[in-house]
Structure formats: structure tokens, C-alpha cells
Amino acid sequence: MEHLKPTAANSSPLTPLGFLDRAATVYGDCVSVIYNQTQFTWSDTHQRCRKVASSISSLFAIRRGDVVSVLSPNVPAMYELQFAVPMAGAVLNNINTRLDARTVSVLLQHSGAKLLFVDCTLRSLAIEALSLLKVKPAMVFIRDRYESEEVNALTGEFAASYDELMERGDSGFDWVVPETEWEPMVLNYTSGTTSAPKGVVHCHRGIFLMTVDSLMEWSVPKRPVYLWTLAMFHANGWCYPWGIAAAGGVNVCVRKFDAAAIYGLIERHGVTHMCGAPVVLSMLSNWEHARPVKNKVKIMTAGSPPPAAVLFRTESLGFEISHGYGLTETAGLVVTCAWKPGWNRLPASEQARLKSRQGVRTLCLTKVDVIDPATMASVARDGATVGEIVLRGGSVMLGYLKDENATAKAIQNNWFFTGDVGVMHSDGYLEIKDRSKDVIISGGENISSVEVESVLYTHQAVSEAAVVARPDEFWGETPCAFVSLKTGLAKRPSEKEVMEYCRERMPHYMVPKTVAFMEELPKTATGKVQKFVLRELAKKMGPSPTRHTSRM
């Protein structure tokens, strides 16, 4: 069969951008985007994206491989730019809207962005960030004509507007097809929860595979109604901007939300799917007016291990939760807790415990393992022996932008080293125990902060919990718990009462020796608790006042 070789007919580059062309053909008259009182069809969205891509190319001389940054919440323009920017041949860089001006300027300088799209409400942040740069990208403001005049007034003077690009663009623009599927498509910066942000580069092929994988793994049907509670700037919304186009679904966009807004949008639009960090689950289950949803809503959660107690409470309200694991470096979720039919016969509490595990590799991930980094050997599949989680597959990043050393450190021996500590259970399901920096070593014992947090979340008064190491002169480190309590409590528990609650439910060496109450835990924009902030707070407390007795 030596004469059989790839041809132009079977080797066109894989890219998720083609999903929009197909959606316009198959679902052209169907609703694509809902935002407040405004609706677009897939035919509208297809034309709008091509117009913006056309203007990006013609008005700003953006060429293949140039970086275009976006600073915006989940409004329709943000959704359209996930297509329009790469359709112009540029590399899309979504920026976290909660960063400060200095950090935004650092990312713009590091990426070499030629153009910056800015939502009107973030005007001051963008202008301050650009004032710190010697070489400034061109700037386009997204004026939200679907919002109030008060919001629109925030734009003030500007050089160009998104509407202007839409008006001047060509709806028949022949979008730029990648020369190879390995061509960079997106640039995402890591959240910086454990280190300085790094620029993660993904290619068209990786994003295509991740998009298709996400739809298959979650069993997303045609025409879903997807509520955007996950920030699109977070790993491009786990690739669902392109996925919902592939499925011809409805994107319910929302600028900002709380529990009341989520419940209202679910009821008004018949939402079927949504994604978010465990903080979204806590928001839904802890709301004082929480009520069971009329129709089952599927939620995919990831970002940090969801406590079993939170899963149980949220599912009791009619939400069907799936749990996954991924990183910015994998473009989305590459491990999910695939549900086994036999588990349906188990008690609800046991189902929640099983669902809190990360699970098994998705179909497009080649391999996942937990290894001993010193020997590179797989750890025992006993649910107790810890090691580092490593991954291999098509959606793993190309590497870190302008950082060969970090890339070489992260990708070794054909594995991507996640920096997460986990165990492999006998049934082949993965469970994260901690970030490598979050393991607490107390008197020679390794304490998983995740395990301690899981117990804290079962306390009926606890809304959020995070555990970090506090210095101790005798033990080296001891667990320090930062806790926020639910609102409207008749009686607030004391520090001692929380400790006693934990003592009854875990080995004594794992019990927090400090409990600090906070109104709200510090988080990234994607809902991840900023443990590096809490570690600094614990360090400033000084050595813990521990009674150095024997521990059981």
C-alpha cells in the first residue's frame, strides 16, 4: 500500500472555525445568541463574525500569526470574537477581566498584541494598562447598545467601536484558513494561582479535538440551550464557544450574574446546560431562595475538586452535575468522572463521593497516569499512594510563549506534568489530592488540604472553605482553615466548635489548628480560591499556638 498517501482531499487542516459555516447552513434560522432582549440567528452570527474578521484584516492590517487581545465579559461581541479573530488569521488572546492594570500591561507586552478589544465597562482599566506600555496596540471599544445608557456612557471618546467594524466589514469575507492544523490559534495566560502567569499556546488541531471531545463526553445533544456562567476568558470557555456552534445551540450571554439571575435565566430560556467552578454550585445551593428547577439542568464543573457535600446539595435541587478536570495547558477538560450505571443504585451521599473524583481520560486524550516523578514509574492503584498527574494527548499545548525553559520543564519524556498531586483508584479512576504546593507536611505526615476541606464543607454553617499550611515551630506546618459562613444563620459556630467538628470526622493530625473566618474567600475570576493569598495571610499570623501533644 506504499502508493497510498495523503492528498489535498483528505488532509485539510482541522479547525473549529468551520463549525460556524455549518451552523449557518443547517441552523441558519435558529436562535444562536440571546442577550437581554436581543436575539441573533446562526445566519446573523455567521455574517457578523465574517464582517468583524474582514475589518480586523483591512482596517488594522492584522496578518497571520499576529496576536489580538480581548478584554470583555460574556456579551455577544465576546462570543463573536472567539470566531472572528482567528478567522482573520490572528491568534486570539482573551484576558482575565479581574486583573489589575499592571498585570494587563505585562500580558499585552509579553504577547505583543497588535489590537485590543475592550468592553466599555473596562475602559479605565484598559487605558491605565496602555499608559504603562511604550508600544501600544490599537484599541476598539465594545459599546453595548443592548445595555443601559449609563453603561454606554462609560466609553467616552474612542478611536474605533465594535459597531463601526461591523458596519464597515464584508459579510462575504473569505476567512483565513490555517496553512497547517498546527498553526497557533489561541494564546491563554495561566491564572497565576501558584506562580507567575505563563502564555499557553494552542493550535487549531488541539482546539478542534478538544471541542469535539467536550461535546461527546458530556453527550451534548443538538440545539442545547447553554447559559454562559463560565467566563469565556477562562481557557476559551473550555472550548464551548465553538462547541455550541457545532451543535447549533443557543448561547445565553450574561454580563454578570448571581444566584437570582441564574435561576431567572434558567426558567426564562429553558436552559439545558451550563459550566462553572464549584463556587457556582455553592452559589446555587446556598441561595436563601433556592428552589428545585422545573427541568433538569446539566452542569459541568471543574477548576478545583468539588466537595461531595456541595454536589449532594446542588443535585437535590434538580441539577445533574458532571465533574471534569483540565488545565489551561489542555484547553479544556480531559478527564471526567464517567458515570457507571451500577452507581445509580448507591445512596445519594455515596454517589456524590464517587462523583467528586476526577475520573478517567476523555476519548481524545491518549493517556493519563499518576507517577512517581523520581522514578517515572506508575504509582500503585490503591487510592492511597500519591504521585504527580501526567497527561498525553492531542489537546496538550504547543508550549509556553517565549519560555523554552518552562516548556521543557512541563513536557518531559513525552508527558505533560500537571503539578497536581493525585492517586489512582483500583477501578482506574483518578482523584486529585492537591496541588503540589498545597500539600501540608506536618510532623512528617502529608496532609491533603482537599480532604480537610471536604469535611469542612459538610458542616451545615459553612459556605466556603480553604485550607493552607501555617508555620509551626514544633510540627513544621499545621493546617490553617479559612472559612466563610452562610448568611442568615441563627447561631454562628466558634473556631473551637469547627475544630471539634473536624476532630470527630478525621485523624487528629489533620484537624485544623487554626480557623479564621472571612466574609468571602479571595478568588480568581474563574472561581478558584487564591491559596497563595491565604498562605501569605497564614504566614503573617506567625507560628501556630499548637499544644504539642501526641497525635492520633
Question: What is the C-alpha separation between 368 and 393, in angstroms, rounded?
Answer: 9
Neighbours of 372 (CB within 10 A): 14
**Distance between alpha carbon 223 and the CA centroid of its chain, in Å?**
23
The pLDDT score that the predictor gives to residue 437 is: 65
Non-local CB neighbours of 144 within 8 Å, separated by 6+ positions: 75, 119, 120, 121, 151, 152, 255
The pLDDT score that the predictor gives to residue 552 is: 35
Q: Can you give the length of the chain in residues?
A: 552
Nearest-5° Cα angle at 175, 171 to 176: 160
Non-local CB neighbours of 214 within 8 Å, separated by 6+ positions: 220, 238, 239, 240, 243, 332, 333, 362
DSSP letter assigned to residue 39: E
Q: Are strands 445-447 and 415-424 parallel, antiparallel or unpaired?
A: unpaired
Helical (H) or strand (E) element with 217: helix 204-217
Neighbours of 87 (CB within 10 A): 26
User: CA of 307: how far to CAs of 138, 241, 328, in Å?
Assistant: 44, 28, 22
The pLDDT score that the predictor gives to residue 509 is: 77
Query: Shortest CA distance to 99 belongs to which of 130, 61, 126?
Result: 126
Q: Which residues pair with 485 in a beta bridge?
A: 462
The pLDDT score that the predictor gives to residue 304 is: 66
Give the end-to-end CA distance of the chain in Å, rounded to a whole number: 67
Strands in 381-486 per DSSP E: 387-393, 399-400, 411-412, 415-424, 430-435, 440-442, 445-447, 462-472, 476-485
The pLDDT score that the predictor gives to residue 474 is: 67
CB 262 within 8 A of CB 236: no
The pLDDT score that the predictor gives to residue 38 is: 94
Please report, in tens digits, the pLDDT of each residue of the chain (552 residues total).
Answer: 777 888 878 888 999 999 999 999 999 999 999 999 999 999 999 999 999 999 999 999 999 999 999 999 999 999 999 999 999 999 999 998 888 888 899 999 999 999 999 999 999 999 999 999 999 999 999 987 655 444 444 444 445 899 999 999 999 999 999 999 999 999 999 865 444 679 999 999 999 999 999 999 999 999 999 999 999 999 999 999 999 999 999 999 999 999 999 999 999 999 999 998 887 888 898 888 988 999 999 999 987 667 778 888 899 999 999 989 999 999 999 999 999 999 999 998 898 888 888 899 999 999 999 999 889 999 999 998 989 999 999 999 999 999 999 999 999 999 999 988 899 999 999 998 766 667 787 765 668 788 899 899 999 999 999 999 898 866 778 999 999 999 888 899 999 999 999 999 877 878 999 999 999 999 865 567 888 889 889 988 988 665 443 333
The pLDDT score that the predictor gives to residue 146 is: 54
Non-local CB neighbours of 22 within 8 Å, separated by 6+ positions: 246
Q: In what order do the strands lie in the sheet with 138-142?
A: 138-142, 115-119, 67-71, 91-94, 184-189, 199-203, 399-400
Q: Are strands 115-119 and 67-71 parallel, antiparallel or unpaired?
A: parallel
- The model's pTM is 0.81
Non-local CB neighbours of 468 within 8 Å, separated by 6+ positions: 438, 440, 449, 479, 480, 482, 531, 534, 535, 538
Non-local CB neighbours of 456 within 8 Å, separated by 6+ positions: 462, 465, 467, 481, 483, 498, 502, 512
User: CA of 222: how far to CAs of 49, 78, 83, 134, 225, in Å?
Assistant: 22, 23, 20, 48, 9
Joined together, the cell numbers standing for residue 345 give 443504585
Q: Which residues pair with 435 in a beta bridge?
A: 420
Q: Which residue has the cell 464582517?
A: 51
CB 138 within 8 A of CB 50: no
Non-local CB neighbours of 539 within 8 Å, separated by 6+ positions: 470, 471
Q: In what order do the strands lie in the sheet with 273-276?
A: 38-41, 31-35, 250-252, 225-227, 273-276, 297-301, 319-327, 332-336, 360-361
Strands in 237-364 per DSSP E: 250-252, 273-276, 297-301, 319-327, 332-336, 360-361
Question: What is the C-alpha separation between 255 and 483, in angstroms, rounded?
Answer: 28
Q: Which CATH class is domain 438-541?
A: alpha beta
Question: What is the C-alpha separation between 465 and 219, in angstroms, rounded?
Answer: 32
Which residue ranges make up each domain of the chain? 438-541
**Distance between alpha carbon 500 and the CA centroid of its chain, in Å?**
35
Q: Are strands 297-301 and 273-276 parallel, antiparallel or unpaired?
A: parallel
Question: What is the C-alpha separation between 216 and 208, in angstroms, rounded?
Answer: 13
Question: What is the C-alpha separation between 207 and 142, in angstroms, rounded?
Answer: 26
Query: Shortest CA distance to 537 belongs to which of 509, 519, 523, 516?
Result: 516
